[in-house]
Chain A
């Protein structure tokens, strides 16, 4: 099996973005996932978000681990470098890559096995470091490539395809992210692009680590009756708390909103995220409120979605390490080499 090239089809009067590119310019290779896989919808949403933000494809970087979700970095942004690393270790490769060149836009794609079992440690530590990247966790509660074992995000009592119940409590990536200080925490659903695309755009523009946990059903191994990660279950218990729109920096931004209903959050690039509350009394800028709302939703078996927490004030990894804006990989050697005379001086203490 080899990867298939997706045909380039140009339609008349196709919308173009600020770079003059069409949506298809953000495509990648043909997906090899199962028909109806939630991940393909997420891929399409990611491509659309990059298109709508008018990010030059080659100025984006895609990183992933191992698993069905991780394969999808090949299926969008063909003109961007991709790095399909080893299982559960994408966050560390992303951390090094971001450290070397902060001027690019980084998107990581992972799954619940990759992030919550084998990769739990790296996932958590990337959030603690506030690495400037968007991390999309395509969550289906099951190991797809190895054919149907429960993952660590499987809910208590959720049934496997052959009927066995999951008897261990799940790891909820959103609760986990809130507890370790992640600065952008959202949940979406592969079946709701209207909510997901704006979330991805906001996450890409967030300076720091952005997590979007996307419920993305596995049609082959976890879409049956009794599964809590099926399309049917997700649609039934889906609860939108906050809607987020990213508004690019522009002179025309009018800071005009109904206090209490729409909350603007200023981004580092000068843009604004407009949060539309769908839930009374919930302020996503307040971490404790987000945790409490999440706990309440869990109690009621609701899947709380939207931008659940945002903090634009916490320094990202670059700021924490006092790095200059110029990417490390662009600093000329002449500036890095102390020279022979200096070497002589440095050794005075060794005599």
Chain B
């Protein structure tokens, strides 16, 4: 057992105890294991902080991403997770297949009418606190497909978004930067502004009885969840 312990050098006579302790904890280690945290804790095994601050720091330093691919951007997202760019270096690269285990959802692609309700449901299944990164022009505004009859003009129409990463698609470096920015915000306890979301899942029976609802009344059960799009009011 004793052979594994670092060899503690003899304390030089004129050095004070604090420095001695710090040296003793870092001696024999490679420089790359050094970190601000290690230096902070090196002086004393105790830290004093606010619980909220500590939790924010923990959250920002270990983010689980949802393994969620939609379109072209998801290929660049895979490159961000994979070798060379390796998002995991920043404490944010564990893709989880289930939304119930994920903290962050990256929206990598175009959201269309048929997919928006499903995306909303996936988002709803994530535990709080949850964060959203919009990746690419399509998720921001509909991008090159904005004029399409079937395209939702940005993921923000359906769910609240924390960070937008522009590009078509954004380079992996850009996504890394966006995620790092999100982590900064999370560490500082900042949350995204609450936006008014135009499109919500509603029960069909709760919709206002207009011409379209009357027309579909015999096809759709009043208890079924639906999403109603008002394309004319879209940005």
A, B: real partners: no
